[in-house]
Amino acid sequence: MSKQKEVTKEMFFNEVAKYISDPQSIAMINKAYDFAQKAHEGQLRKSGEPYFIHVLNVAYILATLTAGPQTICAGLLHDTMEDCGVTFEEIETNFDHDIATLVEAVTKIGSLKFKDEKEYLAANHRKIFIAMAKDVRVIIIKLVDRLHNMRTLMYQPEEKQKKISSETLQVYAPIAHRLGLAEIKNELEDLSFLYLDPQKYHEIAHLLENKKSERQAIVNQMIVNLDHLLSDKKIEYRIFGRSKHIYSIYRKMITKNKRFDEIFDLYAIRIITKNELNCYEILGYIHNAYKPINGRLKDYIAMPKMNMYQSLHTTVLDGNGNIFEVQIRTEEMDMVAEMGIAAHWAYKEGKYNSAAEQKEIENKLGWFHDMISMMNESKLAHPTEFMSQIKKDIFEANVYVMTPKGRIIELQNGSTPLDFAYRVHTEVGHNAVGAIVNGALVPLDTVLKTGDVVQIKTSKQSNGPSEDWLKIVKTTTARNKIRAFLMKKENDMRSEMIAKGEKYYSDEVKRRNLDEKLFLDKSKLETIYGQLNINNYDELMYAVANKSISIAQIVEKLQKNKNTSMADNESLTKMIQEKQAKKDKRSKVSTSGVIVEGISSMMVNLAGCCMPVYGDEIVGYISKGQGVKVHRKDCPNIINEKNRLIKVMWNPQQQETQYDSWLRLDAQDYNYLINDIVTMLAQYKVSLYGIKSESLPDKVNTFVEIKVKVKDLEQLQTLMANLKKIEAVNEVTRITK
């Protein structure tokens, strides 16, 4: 982060004059300048500075992004509605409808509350935010507004600093990234990180500072070498080194579990050239002179990224073992890379005859349409694919509905008021009797749309969920809650029946004057279960209650058994004991299920590091005094061993053993993740033996490690494939401890 210069009126207008010369536009900007200055007169920021300084800074940054005159004006006026009571009409009369609309949208979006982190997922906030903004200029103004607020966050109390920073990291930085505003994204991330974890921030900043001159020397040498290589090739180019921002280093250290120096081994160089062909030519010369690292060549020119980023990336080694990541691109691509959508939006005088014309184009098209037209203009490869992805992301996957108090609830597409009710609260779901959507009473199976205001009518007298509800709900959480309710209800009913049966039976025994020692003794009753085709006491009493077994039947069977039961019991016990002994003996042979020729299986154990499961490719390692340890063939702990390895194989006769395995799930959207994982495990009848989880400081990405027991590789692979299907899960890997 560079130290910010104080922006003056002169600096601002100089910046504007770099690309806007039309006198009418300049006059309008002047007017907005004076208007905003007057409106904010007397207002001070926490820093003690006049409030207008903030507004001027926002407009200045917009000018550095070459925003159009209307956007600049809206930047100057962006806080006048909220803080000075200026009305829409006033701005419309003094300026124009377009500027008033922009200011209003910026104001509205600012009042969106991102309070309850636990309840909503950060990713969805971003979607709502973008969906509500409609015009990309609104988002850019809002991002720039937030950037300046972050730059001046030191004047806020600590609690507020943390809250604003975490919101910035969760909502604003990802939007900036999505729009390709790399510089703004990086600064937002670094500033947020500074306030969220000052210690880590300074630690990394310090490490960076320490290595700076040494690194600079290496990069400079490479620049000289490359310059030498390209100077006689008749290509225009500029070469420079790049620095990484602090938060990206930190994120890599966490997600890739690496130390600072392991990440920082990479030096970064960028070459800017004239056209696409030059990019590929330069790449050719570099690969000819330096050894490229396999698999690291990325052609984002032919296949642009989602946010329209284009560049060639390659990684090469210099003669001294230094690794360089080289990016090669044109001026235009570089501008898109740094400024993203703003680069496409850049105001170009002469291209449009008047600001009005530009406005008309922008008004006509929603911002998604704008994206399409921009994509077509820039001849990117797959505009339709990109669009359908965004549309799916925002409009198809979810609906956003509201409570009467304006709380936004995000639901899967196709959800009904019942899903909504269960999302609000389990009890609201259980007691739901009707729904009011946008003021009208509707059936509970009505499909909700984005923007619906939903209210649930509840009644304590309601009978609660029925089987039919399972067909109405769309979300897994609602379905699980209904199932749990139905199961509990059935259990309660069952317990009631059992108690009823028990009472009826004992009353009958007494009424018939039967021997209570015989007829009420559970162990005696046990002897007739088989004959009655039931499994336990509860089942017997349930059957008594619903009259599927009569008291007379029980009496008859018990009396018949009275004399023989002793002998039977004894033989049964003996049988069980024998069975148990057999089982014990077998499990003592070996728990590994692995055969090693010539070695007692007692001495064979599965390695704790890579934890092979039945079906894995395995190899034995002869350890000192501890017999043979069985590893997976690709276990990093034995990969360099040669002499002490021995061939081993799984014992096909032995498949009863359960094998431990640790899995790592990289995921985002933490909230329902654990629930989804547990549900999935239950579905595949796999038990969970351990769980560890940590969320990364952006609170969006997270990883969870789970320990499971499986019977073989096939079961493990099926499980992994299905865990990957969980929406929030990006990657599932087996880990080596």
Contacting residue, 15, 79, 98, 189, with Mn ion by CB under 5 A: 79
Q: Which is nearer to Mn ion, 56 or 619 (CB)?
A: 56
Does 80 help bind Mn ion (rule: CB under 5 A)? no
Which one from 6, 34, 82, 159 is the annotated catalytic residue? 82
Q: How far is the CB of 138 from Mn ion (least distance, A)?
A: 13
Dihedral sign, Cα of residue 151, residue 156, residue 159, residue 160 = negative
Q: Which stretch binds Mn ion (CB under 5 A): 75-83, 375-383, 518-526, 587-595?
A: 75-83
Q: Which stretch binds Mn ion (CB under 5 A): 79-87, 400-408, 604-612, 681-689?
A: 79-87
Total residues contacting Mn ion by CB under 5 A comes to: 2
Write out 328-387 in H/E/C secondary structure.
Answer: EEEHHHHHHHHHCHHHHHCCCECCECCHHHHHHHHHHCCHHHHHHHHHHHCCCCCHHHHH
Q: How far is the CB of 157 from Mn ion (least distance, A)?
A: 18
Q: Which stretch binds Mn ion (CB under 5 A): 144-152, 172-180, 618-626, 637-645?
A: 144-152
Q: 């039919």: which residue's tokens?
A: 468
- Cα(163)–Cα(152) distance, rounded to whole angstroms? 14
Q: Which is nearer to Mn ion, 141 or 498 (CB)?
A: 141
Residue 172's SS3 state is helix
- Of residues 395 through 414, those in contact with Mn ion by CB under 5 A are none
Q: How far is the CB of 408 from Mn ion (least distance, A)?
A: 23
Asked if 29 and 69 count as a contact pair (C-beta separation under 8 A), the reply is yes
- Cα(575)–Cα(543) distance, rounded to whole angstroms? 29
The 10 Å Cβ neighbour count of residue 424 is: 17
Closest CA to 198 of 161, 248, 148: 161
Q: Which is nearer to Mn ion, 54 or 423 (CB)?
A: 54
Using alpha carbons, list the distances in angstroms from residue 313 to 269, 300, 358.
Answer: 10, 8, 35
Phi-psi region of 306 (alpha: psi -120 to 50; beta: other; left: phi over 0): alpha
Q: Which is nearer to Mn ion, 145 or 362 (CB)?
A: 145
Q: How far is the CB of 41 from Mn ion (least distance, A)?
A: 16
Q: How far is the CB of 91 from Mn ion (least distance, A)?
A: 16
Render 375-428 in DSSP notation, one character per residue.
HHHTT-S-HHHHHHHHHIIIIISEEEEE-TT--EEEEETT--HHHHHHHH-HHH
Q: How many CA atoms lie within 13 A of 6 on its CB side?
A: 5
Q: Which is nearer to Mn ion, 163 or 305 (CB)?
A: 163
What is the longest distance spanned by two Cα atoms in the chain?
116
Which one from 6, 10, 15, 83 is the annotated catalytic residue? 83
Q: Which is nearer to Mn ion, 141 or 635 (CB)?
A: 141
Q: How far is the CB of 142 from Mn ion (least distance, A)?
A: 9
- Cα(702)–Cα(681) distance, rounded to whole angstroms? 19
Q: How far is the CB of 149 from Mn ion (least distance, A)?
A: 7
Q: Which is nearer to Mn ion, 79 or 669 (CB)?
A: 79
Q: How far is the CB of 148 from Mn ion (least distance, A)?
A: 7
Dihedral sign, Cα of residue 118, residue 122, residue 123, residue 129 = positive
Q: How far is the CB of 173 from Mn ion (least distance, A)?
A: 18
Q: Which is nearer to Mn ion, 142 or 251 (CB)?
A: 142
Q: How far is the CB of 100 from Mn ion (least distance, A)?
A: 17
Q: Which is nearer to Mn ion, 64 or 152 (CB)?
A: 152
**83 is known as an active-site residue:** yes
Tell me, residue by residue from 24 to 63, as one string, x for binding to Mn ion by CB under 5 A and - for no binding. Answer: ----------------------------------------
Q: Which stretch binds Mn ion (CB under 5 A): 74-82, 337-345, 563-571, 724-732?
A: 74-82
- Of residues 356 through 375, those in contact with Mn ion by CB under 5 A are none
Q: Which is nearer to Mn ion, 76 or 663 (CB)?
A: 76
**515 is known as an active-site residue:** no
Residue nearest Mn ion, Cβ-based: 145
Asked if 430 and 394 count as a contact pair (C-beta separation under 8 A), the reply is no
CA 664 to chain centre: 15
Contacting residue, 15, 145, 281, 370, with Mn ion by CB under 5 A: 145
Q: Which stretch binds Mn ion (CB under 5 A): 71-79, 278-286, 302-310, 611-619?
A: 71-79
Q: E-strand spans in 532-599?
A: 594-595
Q: At what angle do helices 136-151 and 52-64 cross, to 10 degrees?
A: 120
Write out 23-62 in H/E/C secondary structure.
Answer: HHHHHHHHHHHHHHHHHCCCCECCCCCECHHHHHHHHHHH
> Which residues, 6+ apart, have CB-to-CB distance to 114 below 8 Å?
120, 125, 167, 170, 171
- Cα(704)–Cα(527) distance, rounded to whole angstroms? 49
- The residues assigned a catalytic role are 82-83
* Residues engaged in binding Mn ion (CB under 5 A): 79, 145
